[in-house]
């Protein structure tokens, strides 16, 4: 029997049952699994207890999962702390380690022994120690304060007290208090950070980024999006700075790897560090996000990326320098495009407005509720409408002028200006509307290694013109007066002069200037423009602060009211970069009428997409040889094909990249790396029939590592289940 055809015969039947197979929507907090999720998970076929997942006294799955590099997730997959994450999560580190002669992005790299593992300077991983509910202590302290400023000070004070007590005398533990449910609940997160991380291996970009930006957010997907690292520790297994004397960390827990594969309807769970969702977003915020944040991002990044991509295509050195920058920018750009498209298609604004109508009717039906929650939506609406112009201008500052590398670097590499601490920062919920640019120092060598003057000149000219065209003349920073006065309004002439005279265009010029009279640097045109941009942006950010208290008050009341209205239901808080769990099933989907997408892709699809003339769709010769020979080893499916990626209906967002996808027993079956185009509004509304997580099949990861990369020796430290 042809299993492929037999399986496809049932796709249409299975998709019709999706409603009964939908995920238990949510990014759930681990300490609450027993209370909120265990019964449902058991009914879906999961074999794990709540303590198998989260236990502070014994090893559990949470001990094998890491916050990787501050923005991704990773998992430990061996007894010697071998770490697996996405290729795009390791991208920046791999790029830093690369040179034109040793381009690990372009050519890939796999260490053949421990001595060949490369120190990844600046990279850290964070282990979760425990999470504690500190709501009462925090709210008691804040309730005693009289005004917003006093409440923020109370929050800082009680947070310092709680974290100091939690950490005690430990040199290695860190703690922070985070807001949940719009400042209605607070939890303390205690963690431990390791900083001696070494790069073990990754496939070439032609595998790790196969499909590039064309396939980004799209299904069917054929990307081997993975990279491998290793954690090192001192002789006592504690965190330590890099040293040749350090040894591989001995983990409390590492994941067992399943080679049994995936099938439609199989239970699947993900644990990771989702960054930010806004599932309580109001209709007013949906409109602002679409018409301001996303619209400006789409416009400005589209211009900048066109310039960078052309230079990357023309010069291998520029491609290496800007690959990470371009990928990060393009990811957000395409997400903004997708969000706006799905906002319209799925009528997100209208649905949110309908929910608010139900809430308002519930509020006014009871005098007590009306007194308590009556101003909630009105305050949110007033704040959003009041800050409209400021939000628009600030977004253009962030996306356009702050993206000119020379002026940005000048403010950080040049003489520093003492600035008073900003008020209103660091309070409940992390505080702040649009934050100001950080005046932190940067490493000159790191900056100039990945900087191309010619590219930045083109970007500066384009973005300074675009900013002038889109922002009211009264809101332009002062350097536009210089353009008009000294250069007759000619932006190109101004930019050419700035770049030809600035000492910040190269490390050599900067060092020479620093060795001389530093006061001369104060008149450097790039520093003058950079400080002007920063000061102007800070001004608008501070003006936005006027609306923050009103917005935060309304949002807090709205969420509190929603929780009361839905009392008795299991409700999850928005993602905020704390460890969460989501669970669901391996599941196909129908993106539109008459179309059904299978739940799995194979190496056949890579070969079908191959285009030697397109950088995004080139296929390495060795991979083609393995494909032609069907040399897939133990990683092939039962029908002989090589799996690449699969779908599940798990609920994830940015930050979950690299998260382990596990089966009913908690065994590793893949690594999450993307969402799908049809549900790009998922940060605001979960779409059970459309929302899918795209993951690399662990069998493809191991096949590339072993058969393609020649690092099969790593299998010896893993625990595989066939």
Active site residues: 88, 225, 657
Would you say 158 and 138 are in contact if contact means Cβ atoms under 8 Å apart? yes
CA 335, 336, 341: angle at the middle one, nearest 5? 95
Quickly count: other Cβ atoms within 10 Å of residue 511's Cβ.
12
For 710: left if phi > 0, alpha if psi spans -120 to 50, otherwise beta; the answer is: left
Q: Name the DSSP letter for residue 586.
A: B
Helix and strand numbers (H, E) in the chain are 29, 23
Distance CA 467, CA 464 (A): 5
CA neighbours within 13 Å on the CB side: how many for 587? 32
The residue among 329, 91, 94, 271 whose CA lies nearest residue 651 is 271
Helices (H), 594-657: 603-609, 621-629
Quickly count: other Cβ atoms within 10 Å of residue 18's Cβ.
17
Query: 438 CB contacts (<8 Å, ≥6 apart)?
Result: none
Strands (E), 203-334: 227-233, 247-248, 257-258, 267-272
Distance CA 381, CA 285 (A): 8
The percent helix, strand, coil of the chain (3-state, each to 5) is 50, 15, 35
Tokens of 546: 């006027």
Helices (H), 365-506: 367-373, 376-386, 388-399, 405-413, 444-449, 453-470, 479-487, 491-501
Query: 314 CB contacts (<8 Å, ≥6 apart)?
Result: none
Strands (E), 117-245: 118-119, 125-133, 173-180, 185-194, 196-202, 227-233
CA 300, 302, 308: angle at the middle one, nearest 5? 105
Per this entry, what is the length of the chain?
A: 722
How far does the chain reach from its first CA to its final CA, in angstroms? 24
Tokens of 3: 């299993």
Helix axes 479-487, 525-565, angle to 10 degrees: 150
Distance CA 388, CA 417 (A): 30
The residue among 367, 410, 212, 400 whose CA lies nearest residue 296 is 400
């Amino acid at each position: 029997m042809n299993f492929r055809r037999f399986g496809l015969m049932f796709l249409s039947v299975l998709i019709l049952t999706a409603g009964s197979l939908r995920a238990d929507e949510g990014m759930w907090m681990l300490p609450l699994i027993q209370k909120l999720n265990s019964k449902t998970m058991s009914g879906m076929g999961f074999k794990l207890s709540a303590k198998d997942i989260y236990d502070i006294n014994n090893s559990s799955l949470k001990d094998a999962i890491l916050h990787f590099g501050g923005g991704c997730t990773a998992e430990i997959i061996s007894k010697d702390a071998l770490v697996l994450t996405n290729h795009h999560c390791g991208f920046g580190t791999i790029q830093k380690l690369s040179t034109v002669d040793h381009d690990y992005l372009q050519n890939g790299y796999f260490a053949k022994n421990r001595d060949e593992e490369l120190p990844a300077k600046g990279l850290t991983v964070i282990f979760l120690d425990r999470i504690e509910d500190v709501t009462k202590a925090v709210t008691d302290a804040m309730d005693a304060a009289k005004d917003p400023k006093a409440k923020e000070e109370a929050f800082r004070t009680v947070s310092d007290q709680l974290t100091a007590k939690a950490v005690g005398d430990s040199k290695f533990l860190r703690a922070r208090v985070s807001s949940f449910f719009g400042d209605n609940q607070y939890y303390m997160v205690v963690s431990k950070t390791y900083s001696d991380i070494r790069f073990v291996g990754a496939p070439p970009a032609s595998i790790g980024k196969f499909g590039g930006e064309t396939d980004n957010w799209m299904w069917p997907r054929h990307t081997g999006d993975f990279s491998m690292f290793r954690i090192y520790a001192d002789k006592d297994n504690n965190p330590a700075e890099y040293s040749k004397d350090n040894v591989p960390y001995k983990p409390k827990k590492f994941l067992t790897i399943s080679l049994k594969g995936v099938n439609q309807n199989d239970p699947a769970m993900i644990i990771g560090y989702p960054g930010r969702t806004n599932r309580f977003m109001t209709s007013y915020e949906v409109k602002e996000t679409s018409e301001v944040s996303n619209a400006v991002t789409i416009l400005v990044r589209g211009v900048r990326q066109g310039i960078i991509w052309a230079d990357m295509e023309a010069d291998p050195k520029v491609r290496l320098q800007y690959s990470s920058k371009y990928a990060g920018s393009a990811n957000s750009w395409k997400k903004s495009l997708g969000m706006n498209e799905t906002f319209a298609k799925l009528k997100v604004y209208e649905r949110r407005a309908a929910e608010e109508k139900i809430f308002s009717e519930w509020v006014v039906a009871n005098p007590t509720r009306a007194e308590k929650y009556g101003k909630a939506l009105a305050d949110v609406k007033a704040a959003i409408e009041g800050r409209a112009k400021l939000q628009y201008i600030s977004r253009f500052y962030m996306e356009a002028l702050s993206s000119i590398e020379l002026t940005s670097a000048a403010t950080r590499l040049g003489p520093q200006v003492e600035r008073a601490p900003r008020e209103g920062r660091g309070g409940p919920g992390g505080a702040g509307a649009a934050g100001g640019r950080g005046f932190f120092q940067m490493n000159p060598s790191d900056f100039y290694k990945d900087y191309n003057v010619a590219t930045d000149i083109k970007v500066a000219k384009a973005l300074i013109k675009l900013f002038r065209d889109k922002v009211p003349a009264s809101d332009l920073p002062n350097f536009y007066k210089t353009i008009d006065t000294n250069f007759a309004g000619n932006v190109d002439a101004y930019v050419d002069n700035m770049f030809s005279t600035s000492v910040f265009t190269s490390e050599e010029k900067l060092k020479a200037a620093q060795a001389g009279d530093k006061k001369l640097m104060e008149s450097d045109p790039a520093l003058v423009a950079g400080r002007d941009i920063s000061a102007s942006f800070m001004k608008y950010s501070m003006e936005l602060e006027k609306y923050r208290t009103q917005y935060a008050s309304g949002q807090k009341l709205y969420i509190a009211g929603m929780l009361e209205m839905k009392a008795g239901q299991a409700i999850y808080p928005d993602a905020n970069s704390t460890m969460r769990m989501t669970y669901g099933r391996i599941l196909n989907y129908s993106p539109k009428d008459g179309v059904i997408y299978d739940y799995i892709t194979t190496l056949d699809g890579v070969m079908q997409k191959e285009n030697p003339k397109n950088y995004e769709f080139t296929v390495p010769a060795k991979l083609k040889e393995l494909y032609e020979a069907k040399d897939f080893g133990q990683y092939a499916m039962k029908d002989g094909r090589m799996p690449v990626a699969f779908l599940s209906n798990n609920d994830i967002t940015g930050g979950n990249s690299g998260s382990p996808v596990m089966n009913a027993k908690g065994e590793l079956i893949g690594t999450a790396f993307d969402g799908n185009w049809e549900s790009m509004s998922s940060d605001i509304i979960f779409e059970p029939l459309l929302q899918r997580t795209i993951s690399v099949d662990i069998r493809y990861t191991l096949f590339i590592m072993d058969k393609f990369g020649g690092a099969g020796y790593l299998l010896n430290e893993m625990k595989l289940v066939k």
